[in-house]
Structure 1
Amino acid sequence: MIRTAAILGLLLTAAACEREAGRELNRKATFGEATLNNSAVMSGERSYAIQLANRFAKEVPNTINFDFDSARLDQNARAVLDRQAHWIKQFPEVRFRVFGHTDAIGSNGYNKSLGLRRARAAVNYLVSRGISRNRLEAVVSFGETQPLIPTPERERRNRRTVTEVSGFLKRHPSLLDGKYAQVIYREYLKSAVPGSTLTSQQSLERSLE
């Protein structure tokens, strides 16, 4: 009887240990799956952001230009920003950054400040067109360090801001289920773009003046 009880006790202990080991294994598996899923979501989000950034640059002019030593938005710049604002409104789940640039005239410190003022001018205009400020960021200016046309002379094409997709709004209802594909493949309604008195050729010519 004593021997039987002892054997039964050992069997129960082994079963308990096995159940505990199983629970621990399940916990580790669940944690591993969650980590893997999170990594996949982050990787997928980056991929979707890149695709949407390419689409934005293809469908809308992403660059505006400035007069020498100025952060003032001229008529052509405002027309381009109007088109950007129209596109941005159709993708409320998306965040954007505006990068400021200058030509090579002036000190590096001054040009960084000037580039940032240009980026802020573009952001402020987009906000005035109805874009929420929390979706826009005027980032640290590149100043003169990334010229479009390498030259030590005055060059209008280097005096610019560039608007780019930077990511997604984490808490937007459309993205709670990770439906990024539905966002990037959403149809862009060009027909609703505000009218402009400038043709594409005129805009290009003015930007190069």
Structure 2
Amino acid sequence: MKIRFCLATIALLGLVAFVGAGCSKKSTSSMPPGATQVKVEDKSTYEEPAPAPVEPQVDERALAAEAKAQAVEELAFTINFAFDSYELNDDARATLGRKAALMKTYRDLTMVIEGYCDERGTEEYNLALGERRARAAFEHMVILGVAPERMSVVSFGEERPVDPGHNEAAWAKNRRDEFKISQ
């Protein structure tokens, strides 16, 4: 029995050695079949990649404030009238259309429309004509969608002339509406 036990142990050890040798670990490769492996040289110095270009920070509030300041500057404008008239011409209507669009964009702005006349006519007549001129621009802006509570009208008549001359060129400059913006 001892011999059988020894033979069985030897057979068992042989079987374990045979199975252990047959199940050796396989090495895996990410290389596709048939490809050859290329040896990469090891660089002793490491070069850092160049830093990405830094984009400048955009300050949205500063841009909005700058755009609003430009709009305020553009809204301070003048339109002119014919002699003894408060009728808006085509140029004045086009200008008022562009300005109404800006007023609708910047809803916190208010506007004072000032009506002026040349020196001809009585003071009372010129004050009334200046008011009719300012009122014509006011009503046109309301038609274009600007809220009436954001605008006011004042007449200066023949006071405050742009050109103090006493000729048609000076008088044409003085027959005007000026638009003053406040925030």
**Which category describes the TM-score, using the shorter chain as reference length?**
0.5 to 0.7
Q: Does 1:142 align with 2:156?
A: yes
Identity of aligned residues (%): 37
How far the C-alpha of 1:58 sits from its partner, in A, is 3.2
1:79 to 60, 70, 94: 94
Counterpart pick for 2:126 among 96, 102, 111: 111
Which one of 93, 97, 100 corresponds to residue 108 of structure 2? 93
Report the Cα offset of residue 57 of structure 1.
5.6
Post-superposition, which runs of at least 4 consecutive aligned residues in structure 1 deviate over 6 A? Answer: 51-54
Following superposition of structure 1 onto structure 2, how do residues 158-169 of structure 1 map, counting pairs within 5 Å? 158-167=174-183
Q: Mark the runs of 5 or more structure 1 residues left unpaired by the alignment.
A: 1-50, 168-209
Q: 1:171: which partner in 2?
A: none
TM-score by length of 1: 0.51
Could you tell me how far apart the structure 2 residues matched to 1:108 and 1:81 are?
A: 28
Change in Cα spacing, 1:138 to 1:80, as seen in structure 2 (3 Å) is same
| CA spacing shift, 1:106–1:82, aligned 2, 3 Å | same
CA distance in 1, matches of 2:119, 2:68: 28
Q: TM-score, length-normalised on structure 2?
A: 0.58
Q: 1:57-98, CA deviations, whole angstroms, 9 ceiling, x for partnerless residues?
A: 633461100000000000011011111101111111111110
Q: Separation in 1 of the partners of 2:85 and 2:67?
A: 31
User: What amino acid does structure 2 have at the position aligned with 1:124?
Assistant: E
What stretches of structure 2 of length at least 5 have no aligned partner? 1-65
| Distance (whole Å) between structure 2 residues aligned to residue 145 and residue 73 of structure 1 | 21
Deviations 1:29-83 (A, max 9, x none): xxxxxxxxxxxxxxxxxxxxxx999744633461100000000000011011111
Provide the aligned C-alpha RMSD in A: 2.1
Q: What is the distance in 2 between the residues matched to 1:60 and 1:119?
A: 15
Q: State how 1:116-195 maps to structure 2 within 5 Å.
A: 116-139=131-154, 141-154=155-168, 155-167=171-183
Between the aligned partners of 1:54 and 1:116, the Cα distance in structure 2 is 28
CA spacing shift, 1:52–1:109, aligned 2, 3 Å: farther
Q: Deviations over 1:134-189 (max 9, x none)?
A: 111112x111111111123342111000111134xxxxxxxxxxxxxxxxxxxxxx
Quote the Cα distance in structure 1 between the aligned partners of 2:67 and 2:162. Answer: 23
Render the CA deviation track for 1:107-133: whole Å, top value 9, x for unaligned: 111111100100000000000000111
Task: Say whether the 8 Å CA contact 2:126–2:157 is kept in structure 1.
Answer: yes
Alignment partners' CA distance in 1, 2:68 and 2:157: 22
Structure 1 distance, partners of 2:133, 2:98, is: 18
More helix by share: 1
